[in-house]
């Protein structure tokens, strides 16, 4: 999941970061009308499926319950209505429901869709049903990432989540690297931003790998620089760059 405040600088700058081993030009696959869906699909790496939306509000309304079932500090692992979630979110944000502006990228493992597929969540929206239809008969392990068309920096961040989930050896090495470094500042920031503590290693990896410069607006990143170098080395050991694959 990608918080807007963490990337405010990069989204409005000309700088872009190409991820390793995935096609960063997601516009190549954005045939939105062909299947009458509000999103296009692209398997950017084996098992990592990118859903590309036209606009942020449609993205956020579609993924809100999927994402919050997976990692909300309040609703993780619980069945809840949209109304109940909105009421709680307002209570955490000075009475305002800012969710549709706060988050610009989403990431969920395959099992987060299970209770929705089993019918435990009621009153599914049309777009929630469209997402479920894509994965209803898929039996292999997979990871879903979602963003608005053209947001390459968000995709790089979310691909890191997919790799962390799908590759057990990579996940082990990342966790070991994080344990060796002082990450108290980014842990504190992530918890305040609304992440559940169960996803902290995954989020630390994604943010430190892809968004270290942007994090400088929120914290002192000096303690994280050595970790950034180590995580980049681990990533390079496991995943080839686009140029290396050609």
First to last CA, the chain: 30
pLDDT band at 204 (very low <50, low <70, confident <90, very high): very high
More confident of the two residues 90 and 194: 90
Average pLDDT score over residue span 159-180: 97
User: CA-CA distances (angstroms) from residue 156 to 11, 44, 72, 78?
Assistant: 13, 11, 22, 29
pLDDT for 18 equals: 27
Average pLDDT score over residue span 37-41: 92
Q: Comparing C-alpha atoms, which of 112, 110, 90 is closest to residue 100? A: 90
Does residue 240 register a pLDDT over 80? no
Does residue 140 register a pLDDT over 60? yes
CA neighbours closer than 13 Å in the CB half-sphere of residue 234: 24
Q: Decide: 207 and 157 in contact? Cβ < 8 Å.
A: yes
């Amino acid at each position: 999941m990608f918080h807007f405040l963490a990337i405010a600088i990069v989204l409005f700058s000309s700088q872009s970061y190409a991820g390793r081993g995935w096609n960063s030009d997601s516009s190549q696959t954005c045939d939105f009308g062909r299947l009458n869906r509000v999103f296009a699909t692209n398997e950017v790496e084996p098992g990592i499926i990118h859903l590309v939306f036209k606009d942020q509000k449609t993205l956020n309304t579609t993924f809100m319950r999927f994402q919050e079932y997976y990692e909300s500090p309040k609703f993780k692992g619980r069945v809840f209505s949209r109304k109940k979630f909105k009421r709680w979110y307002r209570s955490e944000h000075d009475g305002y429901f800012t969710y549709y502006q706060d988050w610009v990228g989403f990431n969920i493992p395959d099992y987060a869709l299970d209770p929705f597929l089993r019918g435990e969540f009621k009153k599914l929206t049309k777009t929630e049903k469209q997402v479920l239809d894509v994965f209803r008969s898929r039996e292999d392990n997979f990871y879903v990432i979602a963003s608005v068309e053209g947001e390459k920096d968000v995709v790089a961040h979310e691909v890191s989540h997919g790799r962390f989930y799908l590759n057990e050896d990579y996940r082990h090495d990342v966790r070991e690297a994080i344990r060796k470094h002082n990450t108290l500042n980014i842990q504190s920031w992530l918890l305040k931003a609304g992440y559940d503590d169960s996803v902290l290693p995954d989020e630390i990896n994604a943010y430190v790998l892809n968004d270290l410069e942007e994090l400088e607006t929120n914290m002192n990143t000096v303690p994280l620089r050595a970790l950034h170098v180590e995580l980049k080395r681990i990533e390079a050991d496991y995943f080839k760059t686009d140029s290396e694959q050609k």
